[in-house]
Amino acid sequence: MILSVSRRTDIPSYYSEWFFNRIKAGFACVRNPMNPRQVSRVGLSPEAVECIVFWTKNPEPMLERLEELSAYHYYFQFTLTGYGRDVESNLPPKKERLIPVFQRLADMVGSRRVIWRYDPIIFTKIYTPAYHLKAFGQIAEALNGCTERCVISFVDTYAKNRKELQAMGALEIGEAGLTGFCRELAKAAEKNGMTVGSCAEEIDLSHCGIEHNCCIDKQLIEEITGRKLSVGKDKNQRAECGCTASVDIGAYNTCRNGCRYCYANYSSESVRRNCGSYDPESPILCGRLTEEDRVSERKTR
């Protein structure tokens, strides 16, 4: 089993104590997002987990405890963008805090196991293509030698984020503008020893030097673990997504990063309510099991 921690919320940043408690316990419980009374008990022993993929905007709370994962293979997807607090309201300062955290993590686990995500890319009157290219170039220069790959994506509109994107004044730049923009991104990345891949994008950007990317990457996991995997594409993701199948132990409506483009939170009130029930000792994230829950063992191979 490949463990995703987590597409649904930023566990490394806000719930690392809960995660390490679940590692010690050897299991975690996860509610079915479509049927909340249906709960899966997921085994987390080193024998059950082939690799852990962390998704985060700030893994700093985990750094002093990484030795507790010595029996596991893992890598990080670290999102670091050029947006200010008008878009990502609760993140620490990028230059003073998050870039040094990225550099420190890379020193600890190696550049291959830290993927830089510059996504999603949103164009507005403030965050113009020129702004993004400047921010991307500055971050790429700071991360030179700390990562081998950057992943980009362009914002997708969902019912959950449509109003916020409209309020931000999100713009389209056209195919020609997008092609020129992507070529410049790829040049900046190459200059700093990185390749660029796209995440769940239908458009072919290979002529710009950007290949389709798999975030939960079978090839990378095979390189990290040193053995072949018998696992297929994740059928629960969008058709454009190339990720390998995984098991996610996160929960929606629990991320406190405050990103205006977020698709994993329904409302700030839902986040406030769910975070209020966070118990690091609970087997389930931001909640508790009840007598009405139907708990079944998640079958993995």
Question: Would you give per-residue pLDDT tens digits along the chain (301 residues)?
Answer: 999 999 999 999 999 999 999 999 999 999 999 999 999 999 999 999 999 999 999 999 999 999 999 999 999 999 999 999 999 999 999 999 999 999 999 999 999 999 999 999 999 999 999 999 999 999 999 999 999 999 999 887 776 778 888 989 988 888 889 999 999 999 999 999 999 998 867 777 889 999 888 889 989 999 999 999 888 777 777 666 778 889 999 999 999 999 999 989 988 899 999 999 999 999 999 999 999 999 999 887 6
Structure confidence at residue 184 (pLDDT)? 96
Nearest to 29 by CA among 20, 252, 61, 38: 38
Structure confidence at residue 263 (pLDDT)? 87
Structure confidence at residue 199 (pLDDT)? 84
Report yes or no on whether pTM surpasses 0.75.
Answer: yes
* Tokens at 268, concatenated: 């700030």
Structure confidence at residue 12 (pLDDT)? 98
The CA distances from residue 110 to 80, 101, 185, 272, in Å, are: 18, 13, 23, 36
Cα separation, 105 vs 102, whole angstroms? 5
Give the pairing of strands 35-43 and 27-32.
Answer: antiparallel
Chain position carrying tokens 């290949």: 211
Nearest to 201 by CA among 239, 150, 148: 239
Which residues, at least 6 apart from 174, have a Cβ–Cβ distance to it below 8 Å?
none
Local structure of residue 243 (DSSP, 8 states): P
Q: What is the largest CA-CA distance in the chain?
A: 57
Contact 154, 201 (CB under 8 A): yes
Provide the 10 A C-beta neighbour count for residue 91: 22
Structure confidence at residue 38 (pLDDT)? 96
Cα separation, 141 vs 109, whole angstroms? 20
Strand order in the sheet with 27-32: 27-32, 35-43, 294-297
Structure confidence at residue 164 (pLDDT)? 84
Provide the 10 A C-beta neighbour count for residue 94: 22
Structure confidence at residue 235 (pLDDT)? 75
* 24 three-state secondary structure: helix
Contact 129, 183 (CB under 8 A): no
